[in-house]
Chain A
Amino acid sequence: MQLTGAEILIKIFLEQGVDCVFGYPGGSVLNIYDELYKAQDKITHITTCHEQGAAHAADGYARVTGRPGVVIATSGPGATNLVTGIANAYLDSVPMVAITGNVARALIGRDSFQEVDITGITMPITKHNYMVKDVSCLADTLRGAFKLAISSRPGPVLVDIPKDIQSAHVEYEPKPEIQRTNSLKADEKSLKTALELIANSKRPYIYAGGGVVNSDASKELIALADILDCPIGTSMMGLSAVNNDHPRHLGMTGMHGRYAASKVLSMSDLIIAVGTRFSDRATGNKQAYQLGRKVLHIDIDPAEIGKNIVADCSLIGDVKYILTQLMEAGVSRTPSDWALQVEKVRQAPDNHLEMDKDTLNPQTAIEAVNVRLLPEEVIATDVGQHQLWTAQYYRFRRPRTFITSGGLGTMGYGFGAAIGACIGRGKKRTVLFTSDGSFHMNMNEMATAVSNNLPITVVVLNNQALGMVRQWQTLFYEKRYSNTSLNRKTDFARLADAFGAKGFNASDLNSMNQALDEAFQIEGPTLIDVCIGCDVKVLPMIPPGGTIDDIILKG
């Protein structure tokens, strides 16, 4: 069957089970959009206001579904606008296929109109990228891109398709959808060493990362913790891997983690790290992190072993399989009073930092949402104080319900991501926690949410400042508030109304509860502007490069 390049792209989307793509049309992708028009009964295209929003939407879609998110952009500025979104997906190991158009082959390399070397630009932030220079390679290149995006450690892949390739004809042969095949198991020798390491441990600590979510290994993780009678701490990416109400879950470790999660880790004699890359935000001082304890590192990416933390033993493979392997091999530890020690720290007053329950503040605002949402409903965030407060106070109960920019820390990530997540969950209610700083970056996507009548409630924790930077200026720069006090007069509620959404103001707990009740009755997008003080800090805080002994609990 002779098809054009653009037709083949649609065929491959269908082959790979893609029924929703995000993007923005333009000159170099006209042929693709023409085919999307013809295929609109099979593939939904969500047009965002900016390509960055589309990339974040594809990212959010992928995080909630576990399937690759697809984003399409035109050449030149369309392609460069994807860059932050692709980098964000790369840092958080999110499967994504980005399709960019490019100028026709004859125009490449001549600084043609809207020409940019997007494969060159995205080389360090993709698992791999391709420029298709021969239409007969297009189908297999695209299949390869989908396979690569989901296999092993997931990540973004970009395929750049010149305009004349989109219109060129070639024979097309259908092939079945590529499945994720990660049955990779740990080798027997390392497994034996790992079992010995655990057997000799009296105080093991399971540290879970985003790999547990990617591998769908929550059940196995908890089963291992039960066998070893040990606590679980998580990275931010791993926060939703374990029900936050689970008795073994101590919360997030690291810079803004829970006191007990970091304290207990510092008392452990073995860290069993599962699907994590030991980000500096999670470890703090690396020497202290390792001193006096062993590390068993389980990950699918061999290059993560020894990159940030030296492992005494490593198991390479899909964490779900490896955890099962460990349990089948009869994993056990040395008996001790570890559980008692852990419980003591958990009950310590330092582990129960609460904000005032009777006033409107970040914690009560988040809690007001928490009590109204079902366990499977999704929370997205932007980046900054509100993100950490969400991580600290929201009780995530199911994997893939916390959509946040962990590695890259992308302000402006949230709205696009919430749109993608909402669509990925079949247009179910989704809440975005954001702030006045982050929201100003990509609030244009409110228009996208309105066009598609998405039930997204945006909760703006508005402190009239760039709060996280301000907090650092308070603590480490003697209160020199350089460019973080924003003299902006944006009325977010009226802005939401102007976009065609519904805006609310919350100035106290009463109006917050009322606004939420009303907002959740509305089918389309809503926004609540929540007034909070500019000097509320994210606490506890372990300063960068510090240890649990440096923890700031009050301030």
Chain B
Amino acid sequence: MEDKFTLSILVNNEAGVLTRVSSLFGRRGYNIDSLSVGETEDPSLARMTILSRGDIATRDQIIKQLQKLVDVKVVQLMEPDNTVIRELMLIKVNAELATRAQIHQVVDVFRAKVVNLSTTNMTIEITGEKSKLDAFVSNLVPYGILELCRTGITAIGRNSDILNNIESEEK
């Protein structure tokens, strides 16, 4: 059974760490559906969010193999029910005068935001879960999408477990 799952990974904020993590996925044949990374409040640490898929054995192997990397401090499997997951998307769409109002309506319904407007097109920013973003995209397809970029998901737990406080094992 292939299931999607989200991992939050605290890593040293150093050159080459992203390569170490992504090459581990590559060489062992694990999937990355989405990956995002950024510095945390502690500049020496960065936090990655990886959306992957596989059966339970694969999932456990991914976690254990990640934990072996020296630059990886903590790996946390995020529980779907207890996690806030968001992704940011920028989308540039055809917006002639005739269609502009309709697009604005879609933007309002999805609680997105227009961040740039030209005579012929409009750039919209939207955040949300993957399904919301997918739905937003399909609503804009009829107007003609010119460009689209997504950050990949980022995730944080709802409960009081703080990733930084989870004791990392001695390597």
Using a CB–CB cutoff of 8 Å, the interface residues on chain A facing chain B are 119-120, 123-124, 127-128, 148, 151-152, 301-303, 305-307, 310
Contact = CB atoms under 8 A, between A and B. Distances in A.
B78 to A, nearest CB: 20
A303 B27 contact: no
B20 interface: yes
A123 B19 contact: yes
A545 B161 CA distance: 45
Given A119-B16, A124-B27, 14 more contacts: A120-B19, A123-B16, A123-B19, A123-B20, A128-B70, A128-B71, A148-B171, A152-B171, A301-B68, A302-B67, A306-B57, A306-B60, A306-B61, A310-B57
B23 interface: yes
B70 A148 contact: yes
Interface residues of B, number: 17
Contact of A123 (B23, B64, B68): B23
B4 to A, nearest CB: 20
Nearest to A133: B15
B151 interface: no
Contacts of A310: 57
A308 to B, nearest CB: 10
Contacts of B69: 128
A307 B69 CA distance: 17
B64 A302 contact: yes
Contacts of B71: 128
A302 B27 CA distance: 19
Interface in B28-79: 57, 60-61, 64-65, 67-71
A124 B61 contact: no
Contacts of B64: 302-303, 305
Residue of B16, B67, B71 with most partner-chain A CB within 10 A: B16
Contacts of B171: 148, 151-152
Nearest to A305: B64
Interface in B86-131: none
A303 B20 contact: no
Contacts of B67: 302-303
B70 A307 contact: no
Contacts of A305: 64
A123 B60 CA distance: 22
A141 to B, nearest CB: 12
A479 to B, nearest CB: 35
A298 to B, nearest CB: 16
B68 A303 contact: yes
A427 B67 CA distance: 40
27 contacts: A119-B16, A120-B19, A123-B16, A123-B19, A123-B20, A123-B23, A124-B23, A124-B24, A124-B27, A127-B68, A128-B69, A128-B70, A128-B71, A148-B171, A151-B171, A152-B171, A301-B68, A302-B64, A302-B67, A303-B61, A303-B64, A303-B65, A303-B68, A306-B60, A306-B61, A307-B61, A310-B57
B40 to A, nearest CB: 22
A50 B27 CA distance: 29
A303 B62 CA distance: 9
Contacts of B19: 120, 123
A148 B68 CA distance: 11
A119 B23 CA distance: 13
